[in-house]
Amino acid sequence: MYTLEVKNLTKIFGEHKANDNVSLQIEKGEFFVLLGPSGCGKSTLLRSVAGLEIPDSGEIFISGESVMDKEPGERDVAMMFQQATLYPNMNVFDNVAFPLKIKGVDKQKIEKQVTDALELVQIPEKRNSNIKNLSGGEAQRAMIARVLVQDPEVFLLDEPFSSLDHQLRVYMRKEIMRIHQKTGVTIMFVTHNQEEAMKVGDQLAIMNNGRIEQVGTPAETLQQPNNKFVAQFIGHPQMNFIPAEVSEQDGQLVLKVDSQTYGPIAQEDLIKQPESTDLTIGVRPEEVSVEKEKKSGEDKLNSKVEFTESTGANNYIHFDLGGASVQASVPEIKDWDQGDEVSVSFNKERLKLFDPDGERIK
């Protein structure tokens, strides 16, 4: 039994499918991250789970039970919104206690639950403070306490830290991980930030245009992307994409990039479709090797350095292959100048190939 299960959920606004046949399963205690670009339908999905949107079709189960005819208050979920704020005319205690008061929980129980929650988010000394005297981080903690105090089956967080500055966001991200570890609460966390998603998630669902493109661990989505969308969205710096064709040469498969030949390659499944045109090679900058000398023939492609770039920690050279701009990670930037000949090869075990529809050929 899953703590949260979404089955074939579709939500349409006018002509637009905000969620298109979405299915996913979240296990008890999981830190599940829903990742995707702005506007892809993340908040809509979360709102449907919380009962704040009514889907056009599909079903939602919490702890094995359909919640489709349950009101938001009866669903045993608690949600922290993108623009969550505290009530300015109540102190911290009353803010955190508010959802319990609405539910009619008795006073003694409220006292205990709020005290515990403030302890957990590490602001017990702020219980009687006025909201306007809280720092940004303390206010965030109070908002998390207000959700935790409801002891939900699923904790829904919709880009909870997106309005914070970078430093505080990193700090709060660690805090939510600590709280997750301590309480074992099931979390569904929405973000458009791939770096954040990779850091916090046990499982990631990557969403695009209302559809789930892939579900997997951070390592799986990084190393075995289902398609080009996932491959370009996950990982930093971005994967290089190089247009190529496959052809057979002396009984072996080779890749043609413009007029150059690279190979042989050992992608066995390609044997099923030799002579494929309009493919894309996917290779990450750290999987591209470069040498100075121009070496023609097998396993090497030739180009010229267009520009170099350094982040301080990492160095890159940029060049063109088959009309695509490619970057390679290099140990030393000073070894390279604009216009230098560069002889390029790839880590063949990591090399990905995508078909004309962008699906990875496995």
Ligand X SMILES: Nc1ncnc2c1ncn2[C@@H]1O[C@H](COP(=O)(O)OP(=O)(O)O)[C@@H](O)[C@H]1O
Binding interface with ligand X (CB under 6 A): 13, 16, 18, 36, 38-44
Q: CA dihedral defined by 343, 347, 350, 352, rounded to 10 degrees? A: 30
Nearer to Mg ion, 33 or 117 (CB): 33
What is the rounded distance in angstroms from the CA atom of residue 124 to the CA atom of residue 111? 12
Nearer to ligand X, 44 or 327 (CB): 44
Residue count of the chain, please give it.
362
Taking residue 151's Cβ as centre, other Cβ atoms within 10 Å add up to 15
Smallest separation, CB 11 to ligand X (Å): 8
What is the rounded distance in angstroms from the CA atom of residue 235 to the CA atom of residue 27? 25
Smallest separation, CB 188 to Mg ion (Å): 13
Nearer to ligand X, 117 or 212 (CB): 212
Smallest separation, CB 156 to Mg ion (Å): 12
Nearer to ligand X, 22 or 270 (CB): 22
Nearer to Mg ion, 46 or 242 (CB): 46
x-or-dash pattern for Mg ion, window 6-45, by CB under 5 A?
-------------------------------------x--
Picking from 198, 86, 187, the residue whose alpha carbon sits closest to that of residue 142 is: 86
Nearer to ligand X, 39 or 184 (CB): 39
Which residue type is seen at 208? N
Nearer to ligand X, 39 or 274 (CB): 39
| Token code pair at residue 218 | 């951070």
Residue 334 near residue 310, CB atoms below 8 Å: no
The distance between the two most distant Cα atoms of the chain, rounded to a whole number of Å, is 82
Smallest separation, CB 18 to ligand X (Å): 4
x-or-dash pattern for Mg ion, window 41-80, by CB under 5 A?
--x-------------------------------------
Size, binding site for Mg ion by CB under 5 A: 1
What is the rounded distance in angstroms from the CA atom of residue 209 to the CA atom of residue 41? 7
Smallest separation, CB 102 to Mg ion (Å): 25
DSSP H or E stretch at residue 140: helix 136-148
Helix/strand/coil (H/E/C) assignment for every residue in 68-126: CCCCHHHCCEEEECCCCCCCCCCEHHHHHHHHHHHHCCCHHHHHHHHHHHHHHCCCHHH
Q: Among Mg ion, ligand X, none, what binds residue 307 when CB lies within 5 to 8 Å by partner kind?
A: none
Smallest separation, CB 210 to Mg ion (Å): 13
What is the rounded distance in angstroms from the CA atom of residue 154 to the CA atom of residue 9? 18
Smallest separation, CB 43 to Mg ion (Å): 3
What is the rounded distance in angstroms from the CA atom of residue 124 to the CA atom of residue 120? 8
Contacts with Mg ion by CB under 5 A lie at 43
